[in-house]
Structure 1
Amino acid sequence: MLSAAYLTFLLTSLSVARGQQVGTNQAETHPRLSWQTCTRSGCTANSNGSIALDANWRWTHVTSGYTNCYTGNTWNTSVCTDGAACSKNCAVEGANYQQTYGITTSGNALTLKFVTKSEQTNIGSRVYLMASDSRYQMFNLLNKEFTLDVDVSKLPCGLNGAVYFVQMDADGGMSRFPNNKAGAKYGTGYCDSQCPRDIKYIDGEANVAGWQPSPNDTNAGTGNYGTCCSEMDIWEANSISTAYTPHPCRTSNSGGQQRCTGQQCGTPIRHDGICDPDGCDFNSFRMGEKEFYGPGKTVDTNKKMTVVTQFLTNNNSTTGTLTEIRRLYVQDGRVIQNSKTNFPNLMPAYDSITGKFCDDTKKAFGDATSFQKQGGLQQMGAGLAKGHVLVLSIWDDHTANMLWLDSNYPTDGDPNKPGIARGTCPTSSGNPKDVEAQSPNAQVIYSNIKFGDIGTTYTAR
């Protein structure tokens, strides 16, 4: 997924950075979040579930005091002379989830607020579901379904409430990278199919080399290295548009986390890296069905909805080959089947992601075929079989203003051409400066997470 989440501090004594040592100023207590595992016999609550905040949002300072290791969008080069020295000299702190970051849980519900003001101003967040205090919960989605309730009624144009799986290490990279002393407890080890280069610590070392401050984000930049892994976007959405998208990778460990540099990261040629940055997306609006999802539409975003995603294999087993990813919704007690593609002169009426759907939509839309190049559904399934971490987030987009999700994109394309129109938001929308000023009270609520056998995680009437 495209990612530009960041944290803006008003006080110069605090700043966002990735650190690998552990500080002692703020105890790290993970907010509880209950979820359920389901079989034909029923669902069982995992009442000890919890969440951990990604390390990129946390204050990091020198281990010997309070001096920042990273301020604004630049490294403190007196401390971080190189990556190894920075990871040795810097400590990451625990988080005050509600006061600083606007993150709250209640039973099985998680609320992520967009703008939170306390002593500083926080923008967006990214959290992970935990199996224990020091390990992420791992999911093998093959021949299973994943379900959650979502309330996007307070997410306008330009925002993304995203729920997705990435092939991170269960321990946040501690065992592979000895310089990482913080691990999953402090939200380390992030990766995705964009091979993001704005991650400040990768493989236990600071991404100092070649770091360039962002020209349009006062709190972000890019270094020489990126961090790649396969990614399954279950839910990228606001109140206007939604998409679900697999992104396979050919990293050295079957789609697992790998540090990249140069063209491996997709730089400068976007589609020639080791991951598929575009994915094979199913966005109902983009697929020609413009009255299916949105305020007052068939799936009404003014109200909470249940989102069900099923991962079908060729032999109906957790060791089979992934062949199809299906979507359905439940709202007001009624099961709503996914919309169908509405281009009768170009392709059959598909209502799920299959290899044929991906081939036909890429051809019809004139999109790059990096999904197929990186192995398509088969490679995506091979990665899923290794186990993925659940990510829940809210973010705005400094790269493309979220227009790829909810407007016409590319903006100079003909909206009457199949694949260009992705939602009703104007092409002038989504500028983070505007979104942050105009929609500070935006939020997303995720609740009632369930995982289990196909057909067991939702109730129909």
Structure 2
Amino acid sequence: MYSRLALILFPLTLVAGQQFATLTAETHPSLTWQTCTAPGSCTTNNGKVVLDSNWRWLHSVNGSTNCYTGNTWDATLCPDDATCAANCALDGADYTGTYGVTATGSSLKLDFVTGKNVGSRLYLLSDDEHYQMFNMLNQEFTFDVDVSNLPCGLNGALYMSGMVADGGVAQYPTNKAGAKYGVGYCDSQCPRDLKFINGQANVEGWAPSSNSVNTGIGNHGSCCAEMDIWEANSISTALTPHAADTPQQTMCTGDTCGGTYSTSRYAGTTDPDGCDFNSYRMGNTTFYGPKMTVDTTSKFTVVTQFLTDDGTPNGTLSEIKRFYVQNGVVIPNSQSNVAGVTGNSITTAFCDAQKIAFNNTNGFETHGGLTSMSKAFVDGMVLVMSLWDDYYANALWLDSDYPTDAGASTPGIARGTCPTNSGVPAQVESSAASAYVIYENIKVGAINSTFAAGS
């Protein structure tokens, strides 16, 4: 995943914070999900979702003065990281009216543009103060998705992050908001656009973005392992584990963070590229898309299995398999058609061969590969559900030819049918303002327990 710039366009700019306020009540929308032991034998869990802190209004603790306006901090309230954390409070969210987030039963709909808000990122909660933690070793994760209204340049992403369960409250006493207000995000890009990390603001060294009036880059980033179960629009999709030296959330400094937000992409302790399986990129150009084998004009089910070397939850992750179910038919993932790369699942052998075939840096191996992902699952990972556009690369890495200075016939460059001039946020936010994604019927359980494998 290349970029997740939080974009918000309110006159009162909404950003991340560590303390909390109550000018707007924070009421978490309910979302049910299931745990399964065998097909048809599932238990319903009454979960909730919470909006990420980077989308929220941050204001003075004892009033309503913005701590952050446009893409700059208030110099009086936020002269430095520690003072800003003490002076500023994070407020509650109007989920549907302001952010276009609608939760009904087991279904979560995310609208792309709602008023002046663009996109959203949410986390599954176990209770109002803690994220739901997942260990997927020798388990499978299944959900239904509707991407029919996601054009080129948009990414409806469902993935897992090495965040901590309480959002960092126990670790950092200055963090008063925690999971209740969507605090503590991290991923393999070590994002530096976050307004608060580890209980302090990211004010010092803050540089406003040149191509966004609402975002900027601070001196600190937030790193962790990331399991991209689903990054997709109606044109392309990718399944991508990202390894990390330290799977759980850690703070980094400056360009040593690496990733999208730094001058040296591979300088950090995480794997920003990951080992991806994108059917189009792997040579099957008719598998996923409108009216193709997996028909993105209608809803379908996505099944991801995390197999271990000994077939138990105590083993080490050895293979990530993908199935789809649509119209009652189970569809195995497409096979690789790239010379020198075989299979239709993610294994160490697949990743090593792919990096060679595409002449890509093998950061996945460098940072621990599937063993690192195993450690991340043992620590517990948080489920993230989002919809966003890409101010860094226009999502061309997902659905077009990328990098754009290489020929489309070069192995690994072609990732989808979108033109290389597509995905520009200003254009997408205008032309596709009514876009949305729906995630529903989330199920987690034993291998082959969450879907009808014999269909």
Say whether the fold is shared (TM-score over 0.5). Answer: yes
Look up the equivalent residue of 1:358 and give its one-letter code: C
Q: Which moved more, 1:400-409 or 1:312-321?
A: 312-321
1:259 aligns with 2:248: no
| Map of 2:99 onto structure 1 | 101
Counterpart of 2:2, as a letter, is L
Number of the residue aligned with 1:39: 37
User: CA offset at residue 453 of structure 1?
Assistant: 0.3
- Provide the residue aligned with 1:123 in structure 2: 118
Contact 2:39–2:452, Cα closer than 8 Å, also in 1: no
Residue 364 of structure 1 corresponds to 357
Structure-to-structure mapping, 1:173-188, within 5 angstroms: 173-188=168-183
The aligned counterpart of 2:134 is: 139
State the aligned residue count.
451
1:353: Cα distance to partner? 0.3
- State the TM-score, normalized to the length of structure 1: 0.96
2:168 is aligned with 1:170:
no
Greater mean deviation of Cα atoms: 18-27 or 49-58 = 18-27
Q: Deviations over 1:387-441 (max 9, x none)?
A: 0000000000000000000000011211111111000000000000000010000
One-letter code aligned to 1:243: A
CA distance in 2, matches of 1:77, 1:458: 54
The 8 Å contact of residues 8 and 55 in structure 2, kept in 1 or not, is answered as no
Identify the residue that residue 382 of structure 1 maps to in structure 2: 375
RMSD: 1.1
The alpha-carbon deviation at position 9 of structure 1 amounts to: 3.0
Q: Offset of 1:41 from its aligned partner?
A: 7.3
1:392 aligned partner? 385
Cα distance per residue 1:301-323 (max 9 Å; x no partner): 00101000000101111121111
Shift of 1:211: 0.1
Letter in 2 for 1:336: I
Structure 1 residues not aligned, in runs of 5+: none
2:341 and 2:5 map into 1 onto residues whose CA distance is 37
- Give, as a single letter, the amino acid of the residue that structure 1 aligns with 2:250: Q
Q: Confirm or deny: 8 A CA contact 1:5 1:125 kept in the other structure.
A: no
Q: 1:82 aligns with which of 80, 83, 86?
A: 80
How far residue 10 of structure 1 moved from its aligned partner, in angstroms, is 4.0
Give the whole-Å Cα distance in 1 for the aligned partners of 2:13 and 2:165. Answer: 27
**Which amino acid letter does the alignment assign opposite residue 208 of structure 1?**
V
User: What amino acid does structure 2 have at the position aligned with 1:261?
Assistant: T
Counterparts of 1:41 and 1:425, CA distance in 2:
38
CA distance in 1, matches of 2:332, 2:42: 26
Aligned to 1:64: 62
- Which residue is 2:2 aligned to? 2
Q: Partners of 1:31 and 1:250 in 2: how far apart?
A: 34
1:393 aligned partner, one-letter code: S
Tell me if the contact between 1:124 and 1:394 (Cα under 8 Å) persists in the aligned partners: yes
Counterpart among 219, 224, 228 of residue 229 in structure 1: 224
Corresponding residue SS for 2:304: strand
For 2:283, the equivalent position in structure 1 comes to 288
Deviations 1:116-169 (A, max 9, x none): 01xxx1000000000001100000011000000000000000000000000101
Distance 2:298 2:46 in 1: 28
Contact 1:7 1:16 in 2 (8 A): no
User: Which is worse superposed, 35-44 or 399-408?
Assistant: 35-44
Aligned partners of 2:341 and 2:354 also within 8 Å:
no
How do 1:332-371 residues align onto structure 2 when only pairs under 5 Å count?
Answer: 332-343=327-338, 346-371=339-364
Q: Distance in 2 between matches of 1:403 and 1:24?
A: 40
- Point out where structure 2 has 5 or more consecutive residues left out of the alignment: none
Partners in 1 of 2:433 and 2:6 — Cα distance? 15
Q: Are 1:152 and 1:304, in contact at CA under 8 Å, matched by a contact in 2?
A: yes
Deviation at 1:284, TM superposition (A): 0.1
- Identity over the aligned pairs, expressed in percent? 58
5 Å matches for 1:434-445?
Answer: 434-445=427-438
Secondary structure of the 1:271 match is coil
Please say if residues 142 and 444 of structure 2, whose CA atoms lie closer than 8 Å, have aligned partners that are also in contact: yes
Offset of residue 185 of structure 1: 0.5
